[in-house]
Amino acid sequence: MDDLAEPALLDDEAEWGGIASAQTGDAALYLELDGWEGPLDLLLELARRQKVDLRTISILDLVSQYLDYIEQAKALKLELAADYLVMAAWLAYLKSLLLLPRDPEVQPSPEELALKLQLRLQRLGAMREAGARLMARDRVGREVFLRGQPEGLRVDRKALWKCDVLALFQAYGAIKHRTRPVVHMVRERAVMTLDAALTRVSQMLGVAMDWTDLRAFLPLDGDPAMRKSALASSFVAALELAKQGKAEIAQDQAFGPLMLRACASTGAGRAA
Amino acid sequence: MTAPDDLERAVEATLFAAEQPLSEQEISTHLQGADVAASLSALKCTYAHRGVHLVERGGRWHFQTAPDLAHLLRREKEEPKRLSRAATEALAIIAYHEPVSRAEIEAIRGVQTAKGTLDVLLEAGWVCIAGRREVPGRPTIYATTPGFLTHFGLQSRRDLPGIEELRAAGLLDPVDEAFAVLTGGDDEDTDAIDPPDEESADRTD
Amino acid sequence: MTAPDDLERAVEATLFAAEQPLSEQEISTHLQGADVAASLSALKCTYAHRGVHLVERGGRWHFQTAPDLAHLLRREKEEPKRLSRAATEALAIIAYHEPVSRAEIEAIRGVQTAKGTLDVLLEAGWVCIAGRREVPGRPTIYATTPGFLTHFGLQSRRDLPGIEELRAAGLLDPVDEAFAVLTGGDDEDTDAIDPPDEESADRTD
A133 contact B CB<8A: yes
Q: Which of C80, C81, C174 sits opposite A173 (nearest CB)?
A: C174
How high is the pLDDT of residue A271?
A: 43
Confidence label for B79 from pLDDT (cuts 50, 70 and 90): low
pLDDT by residue (tens digit) across C44-61? 999 999 999 999 988 899
Axis-axis angle for helices A82-99, A59-75 (nearest 10): 140
CA distance B43 to chain C (A): 11
Residue A28 above 60 pLDDT? no
**8-state DSSP, B160:** S
pLDDT band for position A126 (50/70/90)?
very high
Cβ contact, residue pair C49, B4, below 8 Å:
yes
d(CA C196, CA C205): 17
Q: Residue C42 half-sphere exposure, CB side, CA atoms within 13 Å?
A: 19
Q: What is the mean pLDDT of residues B20-32?
A: 92
pLDDT of residue B27: 93
Which of A191-195, A221-225, B148-152, B196-200 has the weakest average pLDDT?
Answer: B196-200
- Closest by alpha carbon to A269, among A246, A252, A253? A246
- Asked if pLDDT for residue A8 goes beyond 70, the answer is no
The alpha carbon of residue C196 and the mean position of all alpha carbons in its chain are separated, in whole angstroms, by 50
pLDDT at position C203 is 39
Judge whether residue A259 has pLDDT over 50: yes
Looking at this protein, which amino acid is placed at residue A223? D
- Cβ neighbours of C2 in B, within 8 Å: 1
With cut-offs at 50, 70 and 90, classify the pLDDT of residue B68.
Answer: very high
In chain A, residues with a C-beta closer than 8 Å to the C-beta of B73 are 145
Q: How confident is the model at residue A135 (pLDDT cuts 50, 70, 90)?
A: very high
Any CB–CB contact under 8 A between B184 and chain A?
no
Contact B100, C48 (CB under 8 A): no
Identity of the residue in C79, C108, C186 whose CB atom sits nearest the CB atom of A182: C186
Query: Cβ contacts (< 8 Å) between C47 and chain A: which residues?
Result: none
pLDDT class of A9 with cuts at 50, 70, 90: very low
Kindly state the percentage of chain A with pLDDT values over 70.
79
Q: Please name the amino acid found at residue C168.
A: A
Residue A230 and residue A219 in contact, taking contact as beta carbons nearer than 8 Å: yes
- pLDDT-above-90 percentage for chain A: 7
Closest CA to B30 of A150, A156, C63, C53: A156
Q: How far is A179 from chain C (nearest CA, A)?
A: 7
- pLDDT tens, residue by residue, A212-250: 888 888 887 777 778 888 888 888 988 888 888 888 888
Closest residue to B17, CB basis, from A17, A18, A153: A153
Provide the shortest C-alpha distance from residue C17 to chain B (in Å).
7
More confident residue, A248 or B44: B44
Q: Which residues, 6 or more positions from B188, have their beta carbon under 8 angstroms from its beta carbon?
A: none
Find the closest chain B residue to A42 by CA distance. Answer: B110
Backbone dihedral angles phi then psi of residue A106, each to the nearest 5 degrees: -75, 120
Is B81 in a helix, a strand, or coil?
A: coil
Quick check: ipTM above 0.90? no
* Overall residue count recorded for chain C in this entry: 205
Using a CB-CB cut-off of 8 Å, the residues of chain C touching A164 are: 152
A145: Cβ–Cβ under 8 A, 6 or more apart, which residues? Answer: B64, B65, B73, C13, C16, C17
The rounded percent of chain C whose pLDDT value lies above 70 is 81
What's the pLDDT at A2?
36
Q: How many Cβ atoms from other residues are within 10 Å of residue C69's Cβ?
A: 20
pTM of the prediction?
0.62
Put simply, whether A127 touches B (Cβ < 8 Å) is yes
